[in-house]
Structure 1
Amino acid sequence: MYSPPPSDDDAKRMPAAFAHAANALGAAVHGPQVWGWHGRTLSRRADHPEHGACWLRLLSMPEQKAGGKLWEGTERAHAAFPAVRKPALHALHDHTDDGYAYRAELTAYVDEPVLSRDPVLRHELDLTDAWFTTIRKTLSTIATVLTDRTAVRQEWISRAVPEYTGQPAPHIQHWECAHGDFHAANLTHGATLLDWEGWGLAPRGYDMAMFYAYAQLAPGTATRIHHEWVSPLTSTAGRAALLVVCAELLQSASRGDHPDLTPKLRALVEGCAAPAAGSGRVRS
Protein backbone atom coordinates (compact mmCIF):
# COMPACT_ATOMS: atom_id res chain seq x y z
CA MET A 1 0.00 0.00 0.00
CA TYR A 2 2.85 2.39 0.79
CA SER A 3 4.92 2.20 -2.35
CA PRO A 4 6.22 4.30 -5.25
CA PRO A 5 3.67 5.14 -7.95
CA PRO A 6 3.19 2.41 -10.56
CA SER A 7 4.20 4.75 -13.38
CA ASP A 8 7.92 5.24 -13.97
CA ASP A 9 7.20 8.77 -15.12
CA ASP A 10 5.47 9.58 -11.83
CA ALA A 11 8.28 7.91 -9.86
CA LYS A 12 10.69 10.37 -11.50
CA ARG A 13 8.36 13.39 -11.50
CA MET A 14 7.62 13.35 -7.76
CA PRO A 15 11.25 13.46 -6.50
CA ALA A 16 11.99 16.30 -8.92
CA ALA A 17 8.99 18.27 -7.63
CA PHE A 18 9.98 17.42 -4.07
CA ALA A 19 13.47 18.87 -4.61
CA HIS A 20 11.90 22.03 -6.06
CA ALA A 21 9.65 22.44 -3.00
CA ALA A 22 12.47 21.78 -0.53
CA ASN A 23 14.57 24.46 -2.20
CA ALA A 24 11.68 26.94 -2.18
CA LEU A 25 11.10 26.36 1.54
CA GLY A 26 14.79 26.48 2.42
CA ALA A 27 14.75 22.93 3.80
CA ALA A 28 17.70 20.54 3.62
CA VAL A 29 16.27 17.04 3.20
CA HIS A 30 17.93 13.80 4.22
CA GLY A 31 17.08 10.20 4.97
CA PRO A 32 15.01 7.73 2.95
CA GLN A 33 12.07 8.63 0.75
CA VAL A 34 8.72 7.68 2.28
CA TRP A 35 5.93 7.11 -0.21
CA GLY A 36 2.26 7.40 0.67
CA TRP A 37 -0.70 5.39 -0.56
CA HIS A 38 0.08 4.18 -4.09
CA GLY A 39 2.72 6.90 -4.43
CA ARG A 40 0.29 9.81 -4.13
CA THR A 41 2.54 11.56 -1.61
CA LEU A 42 6.29 11.66 -0.98
CA SER A 43 7.92 12.61 2.32
CA ARG A 44 11.39 12.92 3.85
CA ARG A 45 13.01 14.29 6.96
CA ALA A 46 14.36 17.81 6.66
CA ASP A 47 16.28 20.43 8.58
CA HIS A 48 15.26 24.07 8.47
CA PRO A 49 17.34 27.04 9.67
CA GLU A 50 14.38 28.52 11.58
CA HIS A 51 12.26 25.51 12.54
CA GLY A 52 14.92 22.88 13.13
CA ALA A 53 14.02 19.21 12.61
CA CYS A 54 11.07 18.98 10.23
CA TRP A 55 9.09 16.62 8.04
CA LEU A 56 8.48 17.62 4.42
CA ARG A 57 5.52 16.04 2.65
CA LEU A 58 4.59 16.60 -0.99
CA LEU A 59 1.08 15.96 -2.32
CA SER A 60 0.46 15.79 -6.07
CA MET A 61 -2.69 16.02 -8.17
CA PRO A 62 -3.49 16.78 -11.80
CA GLU A 63 -3.61 20.57 -12.04
CA GLN A 64 -7.34 20.68 -12.82
CA LYS A 65 -8.15 18.67 -9.66
CA ALA A 66 -6.05 20.66 -7.21
CA GLY A 67 -7.80 21.99 -4.13
CA GLY A 68 -10.53 20.48 -2.03
CA LYS A 69 -10.58 18.30 1.05
CA LEU A 70 -7.31 16.38 0.75
CA TRP A 71 -5.42 19.42 -0.50
CA GLU A 72 -6.50 21.64 2.42
CA GLY A 73 -6.71 19.05 5.19
CA THR A 74 -3.42 19.68 6.98
CA GLU A 75 -3.76 23.45 6.69
CA ARG A 76 -7.29 23.53 8.08
CA ALA A 77 -6.50 21.03 10.84
CA HIS A 78 -3.76 23.38 12.05
CA ALA A 79 -6.43 25.97 12.88
CA ALA A 80 -9.23 23.61 13.92
CA PHE A 81 -7.38 21.45 16.47
CA PRO A 82 -4.90 23.61 18.40
CA ALA A 83 -5.10 21.42 21.54
CA VAL A 84 -4.67 18.02 19.83
CA ARG A 85 -1.30 16.22 19.75
CA LYS A 86 -0.27 16.56 16.11
CA PRO A 87 2.74 17.89 14.17
CA ALA A 88 2.89 21.69 14.07
CA LEU A 89 2.52 23.15 10.59
CA HIS A 90 5.37 25.57 9.79
CA ALA A 91 4.93 26.40 6.11
CA LEU A 92 3.22 25.53 2.83
CA HIS A 93 4.44 25.81 -0.74
CA ASP A 94 2.30 25.35 -3.85
CA HIS A 95 3.51 25.13 -7.41
CA THR A 96 2.44 23.69 -10.76
CA ASP A 97 4.49 22.11 -13.49
CA ASP A 98 3.67 20.24 -16.70
CA GLY A 99 0.01 19.73 -15.87
CA TYR A 100 0.45 18.76 -12.21
CA ALA A 101 -0.16 20.74 -9.03
CA TYR A 102 1.95 20.19 -5.92
CA ARG A 103 1.47 21.17 -2.30
CA ALA A 104 4.42 20.84 0.07
CA GLU A 105 3.78 20.85 3.81
CA LEU A 106 6.64 21.57 6.19
CA THR A 107 5.73 20.31 9.65
CA ALA A 108 7.57 19.67 12.89
CA TYR A 109 9.39 16.33 13.02
CA VAL A 110 7.77 13.99 15.54
CA ASP A 111 10.52 11.95 17.16
CA GLU A 112 8.20 9.14 18.20
CA PRO A 113 7.90 5.76 16.43
CA VAL A 114 4.60 4.98 14.78
CA LEU A 115 2.68 1.95 16.00
CA SER A 116 3.04 0.29 12.58
CA ARG A 117 4.57 1.08 9.21
CA ASP A 118 1.37 -0.11 7.53
CA PRO A 119 -2.26 0.69 8.37
CA VAL A 120 -2.91 -3.04 8.83
CA LEU A 121 -1.53 -3.99 12.24
CA ARG A 122 0.30 -7.32 11.95
CA HIS A 123 2.04 -7.41 15.34
CA GLU A 124 0.81 -7.09 18.88
CA LEU A 125 1.17 -3.79 20.73
CA ASP A 126 1.72 -3.16 24.43
CA LEU A 127 -0.23 0.08 24.77
CA THR A 128 -0.42 1.68 28.20
CA ASP A 129 -3.47 2.93 30.06
CA ALA A 130 -2.04 6.45 29.73
CA TRP A 131 -1.86 6.05 25.94
CA PHE A 132 -5.53 5.15 25.74
CA THR A 133 -6.43 8.00 28.08
CA THR A 134 -4.68 10.50 25.82
CA ILE A 135 -6.24 9.04 22.69
CA ARG A 136 -9.73 9.13 24.23
CA LYS A 137 -9.23 12.82 25.01
CA THR A 138 -8.01 13.41 21.46
CA LEU A 139 -11.05 11.73 19.91
CA SER A 140 -13.40 13.60 22.25
CA THR A 141 -11.80 16.90 21.26
CA ILE A 142 -12.02 16.12 17.55
CA ALA A 143 -15.68 15.07 17.84
CA THR A 144 -16.71 18.49 19.24
CA VAL A 145 -15.36 20.48 16.28
CA LEU A 146 -17.96 21.95 13.96
CA THR A 147 -16.96 21.70 10.31
CA ASP A 148 -18.24 21.77 6.75
CA ARG A 149 -15.75 19.07 5.77
CA THR A 150 -16.94 15.51 5.15
CA ALA A 151 -14.89 12.35 5.63
CA VAL A 152 -17.68 9.93 4.66
CA ARG A 153 -20.94 10.71 2.88
CA GLN A 154 -24.31 9.03 3.32
CA GLU A 155 -24.55 8.71 -0.46
CA TRP A 156 -21.37 6.60 -0.48
CA ILE A 157 -22.59 4.55 2.49
CA SER A 158 -25.92 3.84 0.79
CA ARG A 159 -24.14 2.55 -2.30
CA ALA A 160 -20.99 0.92 -0.93
CA VAL A 161 -22.23 -0.96 2.14
CA PRO A 162 -24.56 -3.27 0.15
CA GLU A 163 -22.04 -3.59 -2.67
CA TYR A 164 -19.05 -4.59 -0.54
CA THR A 165 -20.63 -6.19 2.53
CA GLY A 166 -23.90 -7.61 1.21
CA GLN A 167 -25.73 -5.95 4.12
CA PRO A 168 -28.35 -3.18 4.17
CA ALA A 169 -26.83 0.28 4.39
CA PRO A 170 -27.40 2.04 7.71
CA HIS A 171 -28.97 5.47 7.65
CA ILE A 172 -26.62 7.51 9.83
CA GLN A 173 -28.45 9.84 12.18
CA HIS A 174 -25.50 11.00 14.30
CA TRP A 175 -22.49 12.54 12.58
CA GLU A 176 -19.38 13.81 14.34
CA CYS A 177 -16.06 15.23 13.31
CA ALA A 178 -13.45 12.48 12.83
CA HIS A 179 -9.79 12.23 11.92
CA GLY A 180 -10.87 9.99 9.07
CA ASP A 181 -7.72 7.87 8.72
CA PHE A 182 -7.28 6.60 12.26
CA HIS A 183 -4.97 3.58 12.11
CA ALA A 184 -1.67 2.35 13.52
CA ALA A 185 0.48 3.96 10.80
CA ASN A 186 -0.90 7.37 11.75
CA LEU A 187 -0.52 6.93 15.53
CA THR A 188 2.70 7.10 17.52
CA HIS A 189 3.73 5.45 20.75
CA GLY A 190 3.59 8.94 22.25
CA ALA A 191 -0.10 9.25 21.26
CA THR A 192 0.55 11.83 18.53
CA LEU A 193 -1.87 11.68 15.60
CA LEU A 194 -0.42 12.11 12.10
CA ASP A 195 -1.79 12.69 8.57
CA TRP A 196 -4.74 15.07 8.80
CA GLU A 197 -5.64 15.40 5.14
CA GLY A 198 -8.97 13.52 5.28
CA TRP A 199 -10.65 14.77 8.46
CA GLY A 200 -14.31 15.72 8.52
CA LEU A 201 -17.78 14.51 9.41
CA ALA A 202 -18.28 10.76 9.73
CA PRO A 203 -20.61 8.36 11.56
CA ARG A 204 -20.26 8.52 15.33
CA GLY A 205 -17.51 6.07 16.38
CA TYR A 206 -15.88 5.97 12.93
CA ASP A 207 -12.30 6.51 14.11
CA MET A 208 -12.52 3.89 16.85
CA ALA A 209 -14.10 1.43 14.40
CA MET A 210 -11.31 1.99 11.89
CA PHE A 211 -8.55 1.41 14.45
CA TYR A 212 -10.30 -1.77 15.58
CA ALA A 213 -10.89 -3.11 12.05
CA TYR A 214 -7.30 -2.52 10.96
CA ALA A 215 -6.05 -4.36 14.09
CA GLN A 216 -7.80 -7.68 13.39
CA LEU A 217 -4.58 -9.49 12.42
CA ALA A 218 -3.21 -8.72 15.91
CA PRO A 219 -5.98 -10.38 17.95
CA GLY A 220 -4.58 -9.50 21.36
CA THR A 221 -4.41 -5.82 20.50
CA ALA A 222 -7.83 -5.94 18.83
CA THR A 223 -9.28 -7.40 22.01
CA ARG A 224 -7.66 -4.62 24.05
CA ILE A 225 -9.05 -1.94 21.73
CA HIS A 226 -12.51 -3.47 21.98
CA HIS A 227 -12.23 -3.59 25.77
CA GLU A 228 -11.19 0.07 25.97
CA TRP A 229 -14.05 1.19 23.71
CA VAL A 230 -16.60 -1.54 24.32
CA SER A 231 -19.56 0.83 24.79
CA PRO A 232 -19.06 2.96 21.65
CA LEU A 233 -18.12 -0.05 19.52
CA THR A 234 -21.07 -2.21 20.58
CA SER A 235 -23.73 0.52 20.56
CA THR A 236 -26.10 0.66 17.60
CA ALA A 237 -24.22 3.67 16.25
CA GLY A 238 -20.88 1.93 16.77
CA ARG A 239 -21.96 -1.20 14.90
CA ALA A 240 -23.13 0.99 12.03
CA ALA A 241 -19.79 2.81 11.99
CA LEU A 242 -17.94 -0.52 11.97
CA LEU A 243 -20.06 -1.73 9.06
CA VAL A 244 -19.19 1.45 7.14
CA VAL A 245 -15.47 0.99 7.88
CA CYS A 246 -15.61 -2.65 6.75
CA ALA A 247 -17.21 -1.55 3.48
CA GLU A 248 -14.44 0.99 2.97
CA LEU A 249 -11.66 -1.53 3.66
CA LEU A 250 -13.32 -4.23 1.55
CA GLN A 251 -13.56 -1.76 -1.31
CA SER A 252 -9.83 -1.13 -0.92
CA ALA A 253 -9.23 -4.89 -0.82
CA SER A 254 -11.10 -5.26 -4.11
CA ARG A 255 -8.37 -3.09 -5.64
CA GLY A 256 -5.61 -5.33 -4.34
CA ASP A 257 -4.92 -3.90 -0.88
CA HIS A 258 -4.50 -6.03 2.29
CA PRO A 259 -5.90 -9.36 0.99
CA ASP A 260 -4.91 -11.03 4.27
CA LEU A 261 -7.29 -8.77 6.18
CA THR A 262 -10.34 -9.60 4.04
CA PRO A 263 -11.50 -12.76 5.93
CA LYS A 264 -11.37 -10.88 9.23
CA LEU A 265 -13.38 -8.02 7.74
CA ARG A 266 -16.01 -10.47 6.54
CA ALA A 267 -16.27 -11.86 10.07
CA LEU A 268 -16.71 -8.34 11.46
CA VAL A 269 -19.46 -7.67 8.94
CA GLU A 270 -21.40 -10.70 10.16
CA GLY A 271 -21.04 -9.56 13.75
CA CYS A 272 -21.88 -5.89 13.36
CA ALA A 273 -24.55 -5.95 10.65
CA ALA A 274 -27.12 -8.29 12.20
CA PRO A 275 -28.63 -5.75 14.65
CA ALA A 276 -29.20 -3.27 11.80
CA ALA A 277 -30.78 -5.80 9.43
CA GLY A 278 -34.45 -5.40 8.64
CA SER A 279 -35.18 -1.74 8.17
CA GLY A 280 -31.58 -0.81 7.45
CA ARG A 281 -31.89 2.13 9.88
CA VAL A 282 -29.89 2.65 13.02
CA ARG A 283 -30.59 4.70 16.11
CA SER A 284 -28.09 5.87 18.72
Structure 2
Amino acid sequence: MTLSAPSARAVDLRVEPVNNILDHVERALQVHLDRDTMVRKRRSVGARTDRRTWVRVERRGLDKIGVQGWNGTECAARLEGIAQPVWRGCVVWQDADEPVMWRADETELLPSAPIGNAILSEDPKLEDAWWQAFNSSLDVLAAQDTRRVATPDTVTVTQALVTEAVRGIAPTADFDTTVERWVPAHADLNWANMTAPTFSLFDWEDWGNAPRGLDSASLWGSSLAVPALADRVRHERRHDFESRDGKLMTLFACSKILGPDAHPKDPRLEPARRMADQVIAELQAG
Protein backbone atom coordinates (compact mmCIF):
# COMPACT_ATOMS: atom_id res chain seq x y z
CA MET A 1 0.00 0.00 0.00
CA THR A 2 1.34 3.43 -0.95
CA LEU A 3 0.95 6.16 1.64
CA SER A 4 0.21 9.61 0.28
CA ALA A 5 1.25 12.83 1.96
CA PRO A 6 -1.48 15.15 3.21
CA SER A 7 -2.29 18.09 0.98
CA ALA A 8 -1.11 21.54 2.03
CA ARG A 9 -3.39 24.55 1.95
CA ALA A 10 -3.03 26.77 -1.09
CA VAL A 11 -0.81 29.76 -0.35
CA ASP A 12 0.26 32.72 -2.47
CA LEU A 13 3.59 34.05 -1.18
CA ARG A 14 2.98 37.35 -2.97
CA VAL A 15 0.53 38.20 -0.18
CA GLU A 16 1.32 35.75 2.63
CA PRO A 17 3.35 37.13 5.58
CA VAL A 18 6.93 35.86 5.19
CA ASN A 19 9.00 37.83 7.72
CA ASN A 20 9.28 34.89 10.12
CA ILE A 21 10.42 32.65 7.29
CA LEU A 22 13.05 35.14 6.14
CA ASP A 23 14.28 35.53 9.73
CA HIS A 24 14.73 31.76 9.91
CA VAL A 25 16.68 31.76 6.64
CA GLU A 26 18.98 34.54 7.86
CA ARG A 27 19.82 32.61 11.03
CA ALA A 28 20.34 29.31 9.21
CA LEU A 29 22.54 30.69 6.42
CA GLN A 30 24.18 33.34 8.62
CA VAL A 31 23.34 36.04 6.12
CA HIS A 32 21.41 39.30 6.01
CA LEU A 33 18.63 39.61 3.43
CA ASP A 34 17.99 43.01 1.89
CA ARG A 35 14.20 43.19 2.18
CA ASP A 36 14.14 46.17 -0.22
CA THR A 37 15.27 43.87 -3.05
CA MET A 38 12.67 41.19 -2.32
CA VAL A 39 10.94 39.56 -5.29
CA ARG A 40 7.73 37.76 -4.39
CA LYS A 41 6.14 35.09 -6.56
CA ARG A 42 3.31 32.66 -5.97
CA ARG A 43 5.52 29.81 -4.74
CA SER A 44 8.74 31.59 -3.86
CA VAL A 45 10.38 34.67 -2.37
CA GLY A 46 13.87 35.89 -3.19
CA ALA A 47 16.19 38.64 -1.98
CA ARG A 48 19.75 39.88 -2.28
CA THR A 49 22.17 39.27 0.61
CA ASP A 50 24.95 41.25 2.27
CA ARG A 51 27.56 38.92 0.71
CA ARG A 52 26.49 39.73 -2.85
CA THR A 53 24.50 36.56 -3.40
CA TRP A 54 20.84 35.78 -3.94
CA VAL A 55 18.62 33.60 -1.77
CA ARG A 56 15.46 32.02 -3.15
CA VAL A 57 12.99 30.57 -0.65
CA GLU A 58 10.29 28.14 -1.79
CA ARG A 59 7.33 26.62 0.01
CA ARG A 60 6.17 23.22 -1.21
CA GLY A 61 3.57 20.81 0.14
CA LEU A 62 4.71 17.33 1.11
CA ASP A 63 2.27 15.95 -1.47
CA LYS A 64 4.26 17.82 -4.15
CA ILE A 65 7.62 16.34 -3.15
CA GLY A 66 8.12 13.02 -4.88
CA VAL A 67 10.67 10.28 -4.37
CA GLN A 68 13.39 12.26 -6.19
CA GLY A 69 13.08 15.08 -3.67
CA TRP A 70 13.05 18.74 -4.63
CA ASN A 71 16.70 19.67 -4.78
CA GLY A 72 16.65 20.76 -8.41
CA THR A 73 18.86 23.81 -7.99
CA GLU A 74 21.43 21.80 -6.08
CA CYS A 75 21.44 18.99 -8.67
CA ALA A 76 21.68 21.48 -11.54
CA ALA A 77 24.96 22.75 -10.06
CA ARG A 78 26.78 19.74 -11.52
CA LEU A 79 25.62 20.49 -15.08
CA GLU A 80 28.48 21.71 -17.27
CA GLY A 81 28.37 24.11 -20.19
CA ILE A 82 25.14 25.84 -19.17
CA ALA A 83 24.91 29.53 -18.33
CA GLN A 84 23.44 29.57 -14.82
CA PRO A 85 24.21 31.19 -11.45
CA VAL A 86 26.72 29.27 -9.32
CA TRP A 87 25.03 27.45 -6.42
CA ARG A 88 26.51 28.13 -2.96
CA GLY A 89 24.40 26.15 -0.51
CA CYS A 90 20.97 25.67 1.02
CA VAL A 91 18.87 25.08 4.09
CA VAL A 92 15.76 22.88 4.18
CA TRP A 93 13.24 22.41 6.97
CA GLN A 94 9.75 21.10 7.63
CA ASP A 95 7.05 23.48 8.76
CA ALA A 96 6.02 22.89 12.36
CA ASP A 97 2.33 23.53 11.75
CA GLU A 98 1.56 22.39 8.20
CA PRO A 99 2.42 19.47 5.85
CA VAL A 100 4.90 21.75 4.11
CA MET A 101 8.64 21.91 3.48
CA TRP A 102 10.64 25.12 3.06
CA ARG A 103 13.85 25.37 1.08
CA ALA A 104 16.26 28.28 0.69
CA ASP A 105 18.96 28.11 -1.99
CA GLU A 106 21.81 30.61 -2.14
CA THR A 107 23.38 31.35 -5.52
CA GLU A 108 25.59 33.96 -7.07
CA LEU A 109 23.87 37.07 -8.37
CA LEU A 110 22.47 37.06 -11.90
CA PRO A 111 24.73 38.61 -14.56
CA SER A 112 21.87 40.75 -15.89
CA ALA A 113 18.26 41.51 -15.04
CA PRO A 114 15.45 39.01 -15.71
CA ILE A 115 13.92 39.67 -19.12
CA GLY A 116 10.37 40.16 -17.90
CA ASN A 117 7.29 38.33 -16.73
CA ALA A 118 6.69 34.70 -17.60
CA ILE A 119 4.45 35.83 -20.47
CA LEU A 120 5.69 38.81 -22.45
CA SER A 121 3.52 41.49 -24.03
CA GLU A 122 6.29 43.29 -25.90
CA ASP A 123 9.42 42.27 -27.78
CA PRO A 124 12.57 42.29 -25.58
CA LYS A 125 14.68 42.87 -28.74
CA LEU A 126 17.35 40.33 -27.92
CA GLU A 127 20.69 40.39 -29.74
CA ASP A 128 21.89 37.50 -31.93
CA ALA A 129 24.59 36.75 -29.33
CA TRP A 130 21.87 36.20 -26.74
CA TRP A 131 20.10 33.68 -28.95
CA GLN A 132 23.39 31.88 -29.59
CA ALA A 133 24.04 31.54 -25.85
CA PHE A 134 20.43 30.46 -25.31
CA ASN A 135 20.65 27.75 -27.96
CA SER A 136 24.00 26.55 -26.70
CA SER A 137 22.73 26.07 -23.13
CA LEU A 138 19.56 24.28 -24.22
CA ASP A 139 21.45 21.97 -26.56
CA VAL A 140 24.05 21.16 -23.88
CA LEU A 141 21.29 20.53 -21.35
CA ALA A 142 19.51 18.08 -23.65
CA ALA A 143 22.77 16.12 -24.04
CA GLN A 144 23.22 15.63 -20.26
CA ASP A 145 22.32 12.50 -18.35
CA THR A 146 20.07 12.44 -15.28
CA ARG A 147 17.68 10.18 -13.44
CA ARG A 148 15.58 13.16 -12.40
CA VAL A 149 12.11 13.54 -13.93
CA ALA A 150 10.84 17.00 -14.82
CA THR A 151 8.05 18.46 -12.68
CA PRO A 152 6.61 21.43 -14.60
CA ASP A 153 4.28 23.37 -12.28
CA THR A 154 5.28 20.77 -9.61
CA VAL A 155 3.48 18.03 -11.61
CA THR A 156 5.63 15.08 -12.67
CA VAL A 157 5.61 14.82 -16.45
CA THR A 158 4.65 11.34 -17.59
CA GLN A 159 3.42 9.70 -20.77
CA ALA A 160 -0.07 9.63 -19.28
CA LEU A 161 0.08 13.38 -18.58
CA VAL A 162 1.16 14.09 -22.17
CA THR A 163 -1.58 11.89 -23.61
CA GLU A 164 -4.25 13.49 -21.41
CA ALA A 165 -3.16 17.02 -22.40
CA VAL A 166 -3.00 16.25 -26.12
CA ARG A 167 -6.31 14.41 -26.16
CA GLY A 168 -7.85 17.32 -24.29
CA ILE A 169 -7.47 19.57 -27.34
CA ALA A 170 -7.53 16.85 -30.00
CA PRO A 171 -10.13 14.37 -28.72
CA THR A 172 -10.98 12.85 -32.10
CA ALA A 173 -7.58 13.11 -33.78
CA ASP A 174 -6.08 9.88 -35.12
CA PHE A 175 -2.39 9.79 -34.17
CA ASP A 176 -0.16 8.14 -31.58
CA THR A 177 0.73 10.30 -28.56
CA THR A 178 3.65 8.12 -27.45
CA VAL A 179 6.81 10.14 -26.75
CA GLU A 180 9.86 8.75 -28.54
CA ARG A 181 12.70 10.64 -26.86
CA TRP A 182 13.05 11.92 -23.30
CA VAL A 183 15.87 14.39 -22.60
CA PRO A 184 16.85 16.68 -19.69
CA ALA A 185 14.82 19.89 -19.68
CA HIS A 186 14.63 22.98 -17.49
CA ALA A 187 10.84 22.43 -17.34
CA ASP A 188 10.00 26.02 -16.34
CA LEU A 189 11.42 27.86 -19.32
CA ASN A 190 9.83 31.29 -19.59
CA TRP A 191 10.91 34.91 -19.84
CA ALA A 192 10.96 35.42 -16.07
CA ASN A 193 13.67 32.77 -15.64
CA MET A 194 16.22 34.12 -18.13
CA THR A 195 18.38 37.23 -18.13
CA ALA A 196 19.51 39.75 -20.78
CA PRO A 197 21.61 41.25 -22.25
CA THR A 198 23.85 38.55 -20.76
CA PHE A 199 22.09 35.20 -21.03
CA SER A 200 21.63 33.13 -17.89
CA LEU A 201 19.02 30.52 -17.01
CA PHE A 202 17.87 30.22 -13.40
CA ASP A 203 15.16 28.68 -11.16
CA TRP A 204 16.09 25.02 -11.70
CA GLU A 205 13.70 23.55 -9.14
CA ASP A 206 11.73 21.45 -11.61
CA TRP A 207 14.33 20.26 -14.13
CA GLY A 208 14.67 16.66 -15.23
CA ASN A 209 13.89 14.30 -18.10
CA ALA A 210 10.96 15.36 -20.27
CA PRO A 211 9.79 14.84 -23.84
CA ARG A 212 12.10 16.49 -26.36
CA GLY A 213 10.86 20.00 -27.13
CA LEU A 214 9.16 20.73 -23.81
CA ASP A 215 11.34 23.77 -23.09
CA SER A 216 11.10 25.13 -26.63
CA ALA A 217 7.31 24.73 -26.72
CA SER A 218 6.92 26.28 -23.27
CA LEU A 219 8.89 29.36 -24.28
CA TRP A 220 6.97 29.62 -27.53
CA GLY A 221 3.70 29.55 -25.57
CA SER A 222 5.01 32.33 -23.33
CA SER A 223 5.78 34.41 -26.44
CA LEU A 224 2.51 34.16 -28.37
CA ALA A 225 1.30 37.64 -27.41
CA VAL A 226 4.28 38.94 -29.42
CA PRO A 227 4.00 37.14 -32.80
CA ALA A 228 7.50 38.09 -34.02
CA LEU A 229 9.03 36.76 -30.80
CA ALA A 230 7.07 33.51 -31.01
CA ASP A 231 8.26 33.11 -34.60
CA ARG A 232 11.85 33.72 -33.50
CA VAL A 233 11.59 31.02 -30.84
CA ARG A 234 10.27 28.56 -33.42
CA HIS A 235 13.05 29.50 -35.83
CA GLU A 236 15.82 29.20 -33.24
CA ARG A 237 14.55 25.87 -31.93
CA ARG A 238 13.27 24.52 -35.24
CA HIS A 239 15.03 21.17 -34.80
CA ASP A 240 12.84 20.63 -31.73
CA PHE A 241 9.61 21.86 -33.30
CA GLU A 242 10.10 19.81 -36.48
CA SER A 243 10.48 16.57 -34.53
CA ARG A 244 7.48 14.43 -33.73
CA ASP A 245 8.01 14.86 -30.00
CA GLY A 246 8.31 18.61 -30.52
CA LYS A 247 4.92 18.61 -32.19
CA LEU A 248 3.43 16.73 -29.25
CA MET A 249 5.00 19.28 -26.90
CA THR A 250 3.55 22.11 -28.99
CA LEU A 251 0.12 20.62 -28.38
CA PHE A 252 1.05 20.18 -24.71
CA ALA A 253 1.85 23.91 -24.52
CA CYS A 254 -1.32 24.80 -26.41
CA SER A 255 -3.39 22.75 -23.98
CA LYS A 256 -2.26 24.98 -21.12
CA ILE A 257 -3.38 28.08 -23.04
CA LEU A 258 -6.62 26.66 -24.43
CA GLY A 259 -7.71 24.76 -21.31
CA PRO A 260 -10.88 25.31 -19.26
CA ASP A 261 -9.24 28.09 -17.23
CA ALA A 262 -8.38 30.14 -20.31
CA HIS A 263 -9.14 33.86 -20.13
CA PRO A 264 -11.38 34.88 -23.05
CA LYS A 265 -9.26 37.97 -23.72
CA ASP A 266 -5.90 36.20 -23.64
CA PRO A 267 -4.16 37.34 -26.86
CA ARG A 268 -2.52 33.92 -27.10
CA LEU A 269 -5.78 32.04 -27.64
CA GLU A 270 -6.19 32.52 -31.38
CA PRO A 271 -2.56 31.82 -32.37
CA ALA A 272 -2.48 28.80 -30.06
CA ARG A 273 -5.64 27.41 -31.65
CA ARG A 274 -4.29 27.99 -35.17
CA MET A 275 -1.02 26.25 -34.33
CA ALA A 276 -2.82 23.38 -32.61
CA ASP A 277 -4.95 22.78 -35.72
CA GLN A 278 -1.84 22.87 -37.92
CA VAL A 279 0.14 20.45 -35.76
CA ILE A 280 -2.82 18.06 -35.40
CA ALA A 281 -3.07 17.93 -39.20
CA GLU A 282 0.67 17.28 -39.52
CA LEU A 283 0.60 14.45 -36.97
CA GLN A 284 -2.42 12.85 -38.62
CA ALA A 285 -0.67 13.02 -41.98
CA GLY A 286 2.22 11.09 -40.48
TM-score tier, shorter chain, comes to: 0.7 to 0.9
Report the 3-state secondary structure (helix = DSSP H, G, I; strand = E; otherwise coil) of the residue aligned with 1:82.
coil
The one-letter code of the counterpart of 1:159 is E
2:29·2:91 contact (CA, 8 Å) conserved in 1? yes
Aligned to 1:201: 209
Report the 3-state secondary structure (helix = DSSP H, G, I; strand = E; otherwise coil) of the residue aligned with 1:277.
helix
Aligned counterpart for 1:84 among listed residues 68, 82, 85: 82
TM-score normalised over the length of structure 1: 0.83
Aligned counterpart for 1:41 among listed residues 44, 47, 54: 44
Query: Bigger CA drift: 157-166 or 189-198?
Result: 157-166
Aligned to 1:191: 199
Aligned to 1:56: 55
Equivalents in 1 of 2:183, 2:53: separation in Å?
A: 31
Q: Does 1:119 align with 2:118?
A: yes
Aligned to 1:275: 282
Report the 3-state secondary structure (helix = DSSP H, G, I; strand = E; otherwise coil) of the residue aligned with 1:213.
helix
Structure 2 gap ranges (5+): 1-9, 151-156
The one-letter code of the counterpart of 2:159 is Q
Aligned counterpart for 1:240 among listed residues 226, 241, 248: 248
Aligned counterpart for 1:172 among listed residues 179, 183, 187: 179
Structure 1 runs (4+) greater than 3 angstroms displaced: 4-8, 62-70, 164-169, 248-251, 255-260
- Give the Å deviation of 1:165: 5.0
Provide Cα deviations, 1:92-147, integer angstroms capped at 9, x if missing partner: 1112232232111111111401121x211111122222111111111111111122
Equivalents in 1 of 2:265, 2:118: separation in Å?
A: 9
- Give the Å deviation of 1:198: 1.0
Aligned counterpart for 1:25 among listed residues 24, 29, 32: 29
Aligned to 1:141: 140
- Give the Å deviation of 1:223: 2.0
What percent identity do the matched residue pairs reach? 25
Equivalents in 1 of 2:57, 2:31: separation in Å?
A: 13
Report the 3-state secondary structure (helix = DSSP H, G, I; strand = E; otherwise coil) of the residue aligned with 2:45.
strand
2:111·2:200 contact (CA, 8 Å) conserved in 1? no
Equivalents in 2 of 1:95, 1:257: separation in Å?
A: 41
Aligned to 2:103: 103
- Give the Å deviation of 1:56: 0.9
Q: Does 1:262 align with 2:269?
A: yes
The answer to which structure has the higher helix fraction is 1
Equivalents in 1 of 2:276, 2:74: separation in Å?
A: 35
- Give the Å deviation of 1:167: 6.1
Report the 3-state secondary structure (helix = DSSP H, G, I; strand = E; otherwise coil) of the residue aligned with 1:170.
coil
1:84·1:141 contact (CA, 8 Å) conserved in 2? yes
Alignment RMSD (CA, Å) = 2.7
TM-score normalised over the length of structure 2: 0.82
Report the 3-state secondary structure (helix = DSSP H, G, I; strand = E; otherwise coil) of the residue aligned with 1:94.
strand
Equivalents in 2 of 1:55, 1:226: separation in Å?
A: 32
Provide Cα deviations, 1:187-220, integer angstroms capped at 9, x if missing partner: 1111100110111111212211211121111112
The one-letter code of the counterpart of 1:180 is A
Equivalents in 2 of 1:240, 1:70: separation in Å?
A: 27
Report the 3-state secondary structure (helix = DSSP H, G, I; strand = E; otherwise coil) of the residue aligned with 1:182.
coil
1:209·1:238 contact (CA, 8 Å) conserved in 2? yes
Distance 1:7 1:58, change over 3 A: closer
Q: What is the number of equivalent residue pairs in this alignment? A: 265
- Give the Å deviation of 1:19: 1.9
Aligned to 1:210: 218
Equivalents in 2 of 1:261, 1:18: separation in Å?
A: 37
Report the 3-state secondary structure (helix = DSSP H, G, I; strand = E; otherwise coil) of the residue aligned with 1:98.
coil
Aligned counterpart for 1:155 among listed residues 152, 160, 163: 160
- Give the Å deviation of 1:256: 6.5
Equivalents in 2 of 1:257, 1:22: separation in Å?
A: 43
Report the 3-state secondary structure (helix = DSSP H, G, I; strand = E; otherwise coil) of the residue aligned with 1:239.
helix
